[in-house]
Amino acid sequence: PSAFFSQKPKSELVRTSLRLLTSSAYRLQSECKKTLPVEPCPTTDIQLVTQQVIQCAYDIAKAAKQLVTITTKENNN
């Protein structure tokens, strides 16, 4: 996602949204790995993992919406 933006975006809102998007993507990847049969763990609470995956997906969508809103406003000015 940051490939679409300069290395150091001027807008704090853009930087915050990019951080949320990136950290949520890493969290999502980590949570999904917990469900793989390659890493069986008898203590894995699938319901908790599912809730975490849903939260990560929500945070990714929220960050993406913020970025779309910001760039749309900037392009209309």
Q: What is the pLDDT of residues 19-63, one digit of tens each?
A: 899 999 999 998 888 777 666 566 678 888 889 999 999 999 999
State yes or no: pLDDT of 16 exceeds 80: yes
Q: Report yes or no on 37 lying in a domain.
A: no
Q: CB 58: neighbour CB atoms within 10 A?
A: 11
Domain count, the chain: 1
Q: CB 36: neighbour CB atoms within 10 A?
A: 8
Higher pLDDT, 3 or 54: 54
Higher pLDDT, 73 or 65: 65
Q: Report yes or no on 28 lying in a domain.
A: no
Range(s) of the domain holding residue 69: 45-76
Higher pLDDT, 1 or 70: 70
